Amino acid sequence: MVVIVSAMSGETNRLLALAKQVNDDPPPEYERELDVIASTGEQVSVGLVTLAIQKAGGQAQSFTGGQVRIVTDSAFTRARIKSIDGQKIHEALRAGKIAVVAGFQGIDDDGNITTLGRGGSDTSGVAIAAALKADTCEIYTDVDGVYTTDPNICPGARKVARVSYEEMLELASLGAKVLQIRSVEFAMKYGVKIHVRSSFNDNEGTWVVPEEKQMEDVLVAGVTAARDEAKVTLIGVPDKPGIAAKIFRPLSDHGIVVDMIIQNISEAGRTDLTFTVPRSDLKRSVELIKSTLPEMAEAGIKTDDHIAKVSVVGVGMRSHAGVAQRMFEILAAEGINILMISTSEIKISVVVEAKYAELAVRVLHDGFGLGVAPASP
Amino acid sequence: MVVIVSAMSGETNRLLALAKQVNDDPPPEYERELDVIASTGEQVSVGLVTLAIQKAGGQAQSFTGGQVRIVTDSAFTRARIKSIDGQKIHEALRAGKIAVVAGFQGIDDDGNITTLGRGGSDTSGVAIAAALKADTCEIYTDVDGVYTTDPNICPGARKVARVSYEEMLELASLGAKVLQIRSVEFAMKYGVKIHVRSSFNDNEGTWVVPEEKQMEDVLVAGVTAARDEAKVTLIGVPDKPGIAAKIFRPLSDHGIVVDMIIQNISEAGRTDLTFTVPRSDLKRSVELIKSTLPEMAEAGIKTDDHIAKVSVVGVGMRSHAGVAQRMFEILAAEGINILMISTSEIKISVVVEAKYAELAVRVLHDGFGLGVAPASP
């Protein structure tokens, strides 16, 4: 058994707050030091967990990311794992010990301490499971699995027994906080079977696995709502080549991720352009557009941060037509107006007024029959 | 400039208390984990200090003990430094950066994290100064130097400008808390000049340096009192070869350090034996003697933990006779009874009743003229 542990609750925030106290805005080349500081949260945890295992009668040994050579690139605070040397872990296992490894951290080729970014311990776990060719990667969390939707919004929400990597990726990127996106990408790449389950009971959780035949029989696997975006509409944009690039380049340069983009039909050489950005970036986005496109300021920039993105996800969409149509009908029947639409192979997202978010989730959950468990294959 | 930093005030205690909460008595082979946990205190500090230097307009880079390869033995929680690889530090210095190195910690040959024991950051500082052949090792602390005695006890106490390694070693081992003993040993071995000074002002502190000619002109450099010992008297011990070994072997085997030992003149084949042990080990010492020498239990074991050891220290004693005699006269003049005596080349210690400790320090300080600065050479 290999155990990958996170920092204690609140510890990473406490450590980064200490750093902020002495230097509230370090330049990029000093982000190295943030990782030196933040990585201690997991280091304390591996020591404590190892001591606790010994106290409980077991045998264990702790490892920092550096000690098992979890080698990453040098992108401090958001490093990516390049390789893992399983040798030290294998030695501990052969000696009959449980290997307790610090999540969230690694070292780069020069021995600098790196961290993987928020939720990075999930990724560490999956990456170590892949390196060791483990049978399963069990991820213990504060919920007991992946649900068809948020049980706080929809009492009929049901725990899903199995979900495909692709579905989990869409659900995670749409706001389901169960697993970090990168950990799912890693699992998909290396075929690691994940079992997401509760830290507080022994119930079977949700398996995140390669796509299975019977998953296609289910039209929609889950419904999500995200409230962290805002909508920007640029009215009367000159409809000429290169204008979209001119608008979105400054946002991209400043690390602002634009999600959905809609361009209306052009009239008299001008068009309206609507897009969404993270709500926390709304103000800066508008400022950037005003400064790079002064002509827009007068033409008019409208913003709306009272929106929600409601999505349905399922690999069954690939083989079944009409899911989008059904979704629009369900929402229309409740008088919910759709402001924007975006689709991918296994996902349909609509933007609606924020006040309709919960209602939309409930009627879609019922309308697609998600409260009823699918028949066993 | 190379800066060696300790953990923040109280941090090491907080971390070890966390460990104690999950496992109050880990077996020796799990002391490794205590070091994994405790070493994070300094790791956080190096990150914070580096960020603070950047904020103040400087350039710096942090290093853990492992990153500069402070290689120690594998005696977890009390490791000893074997070697230091200055290469990474030199690289940082050449790049115009201040190197900020975690004190108190190192790694063993297998890459396990070790700590040097309490006060180990002093030792780290001196060892790194030696490895880099630094001009000076400045040790910043909460006092502004080494005093002739504790100013809290004796208002006439005077800051000493220069003191020899040997004197500092005796003062430290007798309870002056200014420098860790091992750091002084290291400095003496490698000829590192230490400047002990205050963190809170720019005053010149005390230089700890190789012995100088004019130091011999001072009979006594300092007076100390230690209250952390207790006295054990074994009455009527059989006076036969090997009995002392039989008494002290179990204490030594259990890591109890016996300080002073006095054996009275033998009468009728029996003798009284008196010795001192750390007060915290008194109970266990008596139990060990009772269990290994059952015949002692009846003969009688007397203990006294209301004692103090008062000492005078000075390299001048080597060349000047009569210091002991003068010390006994000064104490006798105040009616202070001497319970035990022990001497070394540059130190005389006496055990007195605890209630006389402060008085003894004051009269010795005055009697040897320590309140008056020696004439400049």
Q: Please, what is the Cα angle at B201 between B197 and B204, to 5 degrees?
A: 45
pLDDT of A271 reads 83
A161: DSSP letter: S
Query: Per the CB < 8 Å rule, is B54 touching A27?
Result: yes
Region A264-284 average pLDDT: 86
B113 and A CB contact within 8 Å: yes
Percent of chain B with pLDDT over 90: 72
A26 and B CB contact within 8 Å: yes
* Probe site for chain A from B35, B42, B48 (most A CB atoms < 10 A): B48
Region B270-296 average pLDDT: 88
Number of domains in chain B: 1
**Per-residue pLDDT band at A24 (split at 50, 70, 90):** very high
**Per-residue pLDDT band at B126 (split at 50, 70, 90):** very high
Residue A2 is assigned to a structural domain of this protein: yes
Do you know the residue count of chain B? 377
Query: Per the CB < 8 Å rule, is A48 touching B113?
Result: no
**Per-residue pLDDT band at B180 (split at 50, 70, 90):** confident
Q: Read off the amino acid at residue A77.
A: T
Cα–Cα distance for residue pair A189/B195, rounded to 1 Å: 58
Q: Are residues A106 and A116 in contact, defined by beta-carbon separation less than 8 angstroms?
A: yes
Q: Which residues of B touch A61 (CB under 8 A)?
A: 32
Cα–Cα distance for residue pair B108/B43, rounded to 1 Å: 17
B215: DSSP letter: G
Region A177-189 average pLDDT: 89
Percent helix, strand, coil in chain A, to 5, is 40, 25, 35
**Per-residue pLDDT band at B329 (split at 50, 70, 90):** very high
Longest dimension (CA), chain A: 78
Domain range for B63: 1-134
* pLDDT of B239 strictly over 90: no
Query: Per the CB < 8 Å rule, is B51 touching A30?
Result: yes
The lowest-confidence range among A34-38, B212-216, B372-376 is B372-376
Residue B33 is assigned to a structural domain of this protein: yes
Task: Pick A123 or B292 by higher pLDDT.
Answer: A123
pLDDT of B243 reads 82
pLDDT of B2 reads 97
pLDDT of A298 reads 61
Region A151-178 average pLDDT: 88
pLDDT of B236 reads 83
pLDDT of A295 reads 75
**Per-residue pLDDT band at B299 (split at 50, 70, 90):** low
Task: Pick B39 or B119 by higher pLDDT.
Answer: B39
* Cα–Cα separations (whole angstroms), residue B195 to B135, B139, B297: 11, 6, 51
**Per-residue pLDDT band at A143 (split at 50, 70, 90):** confident
Closest alpha carbon to B90 in B127, B63, B52, B122: B63
pLDDT of B375 reads 67
Region B269-294 average pLDDT: 89
Taking phi over 0 as left and psi of -120 to 50 as alpha, with beta for the rest, B260 belongs to beta
Region A295-320 average pLDDT: 87
**Per-residue pLDDT band at B172 (split at 50, 70, 90):** confident
In the sheet that holds A270-278, the strands lie side by side as: A261-263, A270-278, A229-238, A301-304
pLDDT of A299 reads 62
pLDDT of A175 reads 66
Strand A98-102 relative to strand A60-63, pairing: parallel
Question: Which neighbouring-strand residues pair with B350?
Answer: B310, B341
Read off the tokens for A47. Answer: 């020591």
The lowest-confidence range among A195-204, B140-149, B265-274, B324-333 is B265-274
Compare all CA atoms of chain B with the CA of A68 and give the residue at the minimum distance: B111
pLDDT of A275 reads 93
pLDDT of B217 reads 84
**Per-residue pLDDT band at B374 (split at 50, 70, 90):** confident
B33 and A CB contact within 8 Å: yes
CB atoms within 10 A of CB B236: 17
**Per-residue pLDDT band at A297 (split at 50, 70, 90):** low
Cα–Cα distance for residue pair B145/B161, rounded to 1 Å: 8
pLDDT of B367 reads 95
**Per-residue pLDDT band at A218 (split at 50, 70, 90):** confident
Closest alpha carbon to B310 in B368, B238, B235: B368
Count residue pairs from A and B with Cβ separation < 8 A: 100
Question: Which neighbouring-strand residues pair with A115?
Answer: A105
**Per-residue pLDDT band at A373 (split at 50, 70, 90):** confident
* Cα–Cα separations (whole angstroms), residue A5 to A2, A103, A140: 10, 5, 10
| Nearby residues of B353 by Cβ (< 8 Å), 6 or more positions away | B306, B307, B308, B336, B337, B339
Q: Are residues A237 and A270 in contact, defined by beta-carbon separation less than 8 angstroms?
A: yes
Cα–Cα distance for residue pair B316/B323, rounded to 1 Å: 9
pLDDT of A375 reads 67
Residue B148 is assigned to a structural domain of this protein: no
Average pLDDT, chain B: 91
Residue A17 is assigned to a structural domain of this protein: yes
Residue A174 is assigned to a structural domain of this protein: no
pLDDT of B201 reads 94
Average pLDDT, chain A: 91
Q: Tens digits of per-residue pLDDT, B98-118? A: 999 999 999 999 999 999 987
Sign of the alpha-carbon dihedral angle for A191, A192, A198, A203 = positive
Residue B23 is assigned to a structural domain of this protein: yes
Region B344-356 average pLDDT: 94
Percent of chain B with pLDDT over 70: 98
B90 and A CB contact within 8 Å: no
Cα–Cα distance for residue pair A65/A75, rounded to 1 Å: 15
Region B81-104 average pLDDT: 96
A43 and B CB contact within 8 Å: yes
Residue A201 is assigned to a structural domain of this protein: no
CATH number where B107 lies: 3.40.1160.10
B66 and A CB contact within 8 Å: yes
What predicted TM-score, i.e. pTM, was given to this entire model? 0.81
pLDDT of A251 reads 92
Return phi, psi of residue A281, to 5°. -100, 5
Q: Are residues A212 and A154 in contact, defined by beta-carbon separation less than 8 angstroms?
A: no
pLDDT of B300 reads 85
A19 and B CB contact within 8 Å: yes
